[in-house]
Amino acid sequence: MDNPNNEDYSDFFKVVLVGDAGVGKTHLMTRYVKGCLPKNAVPTIGIEFAGKTVTLQNGKKVKAQIWDTAGQERYRGITSTHFRKAGGALVVYDVTKEKTFESVVKWMEDLRYQAEPDVVIMLVGNKIDLVENNGSARKVQKEDAKNLAQQHKVLFEESSAVTGQNVGQCFDRLLQEMYKIKSLTPGQDNPNQGLSLNNQNPSQNPDNCKC
Amino acid sequence: MAFLKKFFGQKTDQQSSLYKTNLNEIYNKSPFQKKQISSTIQDQKKLEQFELVLEQQIIDLEALKKLTWRGIPNEYRAKVWKLIVKYIPPNHMSQTTILLKKRQDYQQYIKNYYEHMNEQERDENERKIIKIIQNDVLRTQPDYKLFRDPRIQEMFKRLLFIWNMRHPMSGYVQGINDVASPLVVVFLNEYVPIDFNSFDVPSNFDKLPEDILIDIEADIYWCLCKIIENIQDYFTANQPGVQEAYVKIRELIKILDYPLYQYFEDQQIDLNHFAFRWVLCLLIREFPLSLTIRLLDTYLAEGDEMANLHVYTVTNLILKCAPEIKSKNMSEAVIFLQNLPTKEWTEVQLEMLLQEAFVFQDHFEKTKGHLKLNQANTNRSSIL
């Protein structure tokens, strides 16, 4: 390697976050990576990026590279170029907005087309905090989303980036699946090799949050 | 900053010795350091200079642009912006008539595109876009209370929607809200004085009559149209304007700081990883609001050349990051670039950034041969 700083790409678990504008992709990423919400929520333009070292159930540590994308359709061309080499994706919709759920099939098709062939996709219904005490706010039924996920053979979770409910579970489960696939794929480097573990896990150090 | 000395040191003519002096002066200062401003006498002088130009019966736009390049006093900014973007004519006699007409036109747009339509009458696309706009308006300039005021948000939403309806080529694209945000402050300030440090809602804002607010909205709308005209292709499908800017930025980095260029290549860092928002939103997200207003003074003074100076400014910003990022790996560098410490910058630092960008622009545009920009390059691999 020319540069001592060079990171070996095979070490990474690249995850992209996609879904319509305003479903809470940036919130999910920040909640997961930093353990808190973004100080100020602004619409994502282009892409944003974060990294986190994660310990999987089997004790293996992996480095997740998370790419958050702009949701507006006009940016689909630019964001989809970042799907390349993505081994996992969260397709996010807002459980209180039916339209955002209607778009998920299109997002999944885009991913299948542009990401790694064995990309692990998880459908995530976000903002469940809004429906907890007000059932009528829910516009996408959990069963419907579950069925759609089964039909498309993707994982499924519901979450709330605002309360933090189930956010860790979404990412951890996705990474777990990605790990499984990567270690089963012949000819691939063992993803556990050569990892440097310099990132702290903020969820284990809640006081460490710098936001 | 050796690369600059090396690069410009090769020149022997008088002009380049001027660059050299400039650049030596520029680069003896660290880019990410706070600096003090103390210049009340200068401010007074500036005010007088603007008065002198603005008092003329027919305003000398070139003279005005020259002054504007170095920043406009808050008192005159709204008027000067209207003049230099050619929203109002330089002849005092016709200004009122034109302004009146433009504001009436806008009121008609409100009727045509906004008022008469309720939710059901809008087609699906319109409903979709208005939701996006509404959501974006709630999230625009989140640091400042002024943008949290419901009346201002309603005005902002309406003008962005009307802009969307009147510009079917691109329609509303996220980021246009950012570009419009300084205009909201500047044109409101013409009628209700705003504190340019806190950007709070002015205490007397609730007394501002509705019809005045609509006039302000019209001014914002028309000036937004004029600004976007210069960067229209940032917002059309696949953002060809941004891609074109990338080509130029890559070439410039290659010439001005080859090790940095090499570093980006080695680390497989793509301009898309961090510069998309910089280019598209005219750097407005990267600086505090007061500085973005100052930045627009200079950009607007460039007229049709605005996008060009912007490319050089973005390039210069990247060059300034070089010492910070070269020791970092790909992830660290991208995270640094996506969260620049420019929110802490002072006006002096911003002005320096612009002046240096201008020096580059002046140099390269005069000696075009240095920078062979090939249209075909636009389509090549996006790796730097």
Residue of B nearest to A3 (CA): B266
Domain map of chain A by residue range? 17-185
Q: How far is CA B65 from the centre of its chain?
A: 16
- pLDDT, residue A81, reads 87
Give chain A positions within 8 Å (CB) of B272.
Answer: 46-47, 78, 81-82
- The answer for A 76-115 residues in CB contact with B (under 8 A) is 77-78, 81-82, 99
Round to whole Å and give the CA distance between A77 and B240.
11
Residue of B nearest to A14 (CA): B331
Q: Hey, are the CB atoms on A45 and B266 less than 8 Å from each other?
A: no
Nearest neighbour of A42 by CB, restricted to B142, B173, B331: B142
Inform me whether the C-beta atom of residue A197 falls under 8 Å from chain B C-beta atoms: no
Residue of A nearest to B339 (CA): A48
Q: Hey, are the CB atoms on B277 and A78 less than 8 Å from each other?
A: no
Instruction: Kindly give, in sequence order, each residue whose CB lies less than 8 Å from that of residue B334, ignoring residues fewer than 6 positions away.
Output: A49, B269, B273, B274
Round to whole Å and give the CA distance between B384 and B379.
12
Helix/strand/coil for A53: strand
Mean pLDDT of A198-204: 42
Length of chain B: 384
Query: A with B: how many residue pairs have Cβ under 8 Å apart?
Result: 88
Q: How far is CA B18 from the centre of its chain?
A: 28
Nearest to residue A85, comparing CAs of A179, A14, A181, A183? Answer: A14
What does the pLDDT look like over A104-149, one tens digit per residue?
999 999 999 999 899 999 999 999 999 998 999 999 999 999 999 9
Q: Which two tokens mark A22? A: 């305003």
Q: Which two tokens mark A29? A: 């990423």
Q: Hey, are the CB atoms on B237 and A77 less than 8 Å from each other?
A: yes
Q: Which two tokens mark B110? A: 């409100």
**Residue B31 DSSP class:** T
| Residue A46 near residue B272 (C-beta atoms within 8 A) | yes
Which residues are paired to A120 by β-bridges?
A: A88
Averages of pLDDT over runs of 10 residues in chain B (384 residues) are: 42 43 43 49 90 96 97 96 98 95 98 80 88 95 96 98 96 97 97 95 94 97 97 94 97 97 95 96 97 98 96 98 93 94 94 97 78 43 38
- For chain B, give the longest Cα–Cα distance: 69
Closest CA–CA distance from residue B328 to any residue of chain A (Å): 6
| Residue B271 near residue B333 (C-beta atoms within 8 A) | no
- pLDDT, residue A11, reads 62
Q: Hey, are the CB atoms on B277 and A75 less than 8 Å from each other?
A: no
Nearest to residue A49, comparing CAs of A73, A9, A79, A19? Answer: A79
Average pLDDT, chain A: 85
- Say what angle helices B74-84 and B40-54 make with each other, to 10 degrees: 40
B215 residue type, one letter: D
Give chain A positions within 8 Å (CB) of B283.
Answer: none
- pLDDT, residue B5, reads 42
Nearest to residue A160, comparing CAs of A16, A23, A64, A55? Answer: A23
Q: Hey, are the CB atoms on B382 and A46 less than 8 Å from each other?
A: no
Round to whole Å and give the CA distance between A74 and A66.
21
Residue of A nearest to B269 (CA): A6
Helix/strand/coil for A120: strand
What does the pLDDT look like over A28-38, one tens digit per residue?
999 999 999 98
- pLDDT, residue B220, reads 98
Contacts 24+ apart (CB under 8 A), A98-107: A98/A139, A98/A140, A99/A20, A99/B128, A99/B131, A100/A19, A100/A20, A100/A22, A100/A23, A101/A125, A101/A139, A101/A140, A101/A144, A101/A145, A103/A19, A103/A20, A104/A19, A104/A148, A105/A148, A105/A152, A107/A18, A107/A19
Fold of A17-185: Rossmann fold (3.40.50)
Give chain B positions within 8 Å (CB) of A70.
Answer: 174
Inform me whether the C-beta atom of residue A45 falls under 8 Å from chain B C-beta atoms: yes
| Residue A28 near residue A164 (C-beta atoms within 8 A) | no
Nearest neighbour of A7 by CB, restricted to B131, B331, B338: B331
Domain map of chain B by residue range? 73-230, 237-379
Q: Hey, are the CB atoms on B174 and A22 less than 8 Å from each other?
A: no
What does the pLDDT look like over A141-192, one tens digit per residue?
999 999 999 999 999 999 999 999 999 999 999 999 999 998 887 654 444 4
Please give the helix or strand (H or E) that residue B247 lies within, else none. Answer: helix B240-256
Please give the helix or strand (H or E) that residue B220 lies within, else none. Answer: helix B210-230
**Residues of B within an 8 Å Cβ radius of A:** 128, 131-132, 135-136, 139-140, 142-143, 170-171, 173-175, 177-178, 235, 237-239, 263, 266-268, 272-273, 276-277, 280-281, 285, 327-331, 334-335, 338, 382
Give chain B positions within 8 Å (CB) of A72.
Answer: 132, 173-174
Within 10 Å of residue B39's Cβ, how many Cβ atoms? 12
Residue A60 has pLDDT above 90, yes or no: no
**Residue B91 DSSP class:** B
Round to whole Å and give the CA distance between B61 and B54.
9
What ipTM was assigned to the predicted interfaces of this complex? 0.81
Nearest to residue B357, comparing CAs of B288, B285, B278? Answer: B278
Inform me whether the C-beta atom of residue A2 falls under 8 Å from chain B C-beta atoms: yes
Inform me whether the C-beta atom of residue A209 falls under 8 Å from chain B C-beta atoms: no
Please give the helix or strand (H or E) that residue A125 lies within, else none. Answer: strand A120-126
Round to whole Å and give the CA distance between B7 and B367.
13
- B237-379 carries CATH number 1.10.472.80: yes
Round to whole Å and give the CA distance between A34 and A50.
9
- pLDDT, residue B366, reads 78
Give chain B positions within 8 Å (CB) of A6.
Answer: 266-267, 329-330
| Residue B190 near residue B216 (C-beta atoms within 8 A) | yes
Enumerate the H helices of B110-175 as residue ranges. Answer: 124-138, 150-166
Nearest neighbour of A72 by CB, restricted to B140, B173, B338: B173
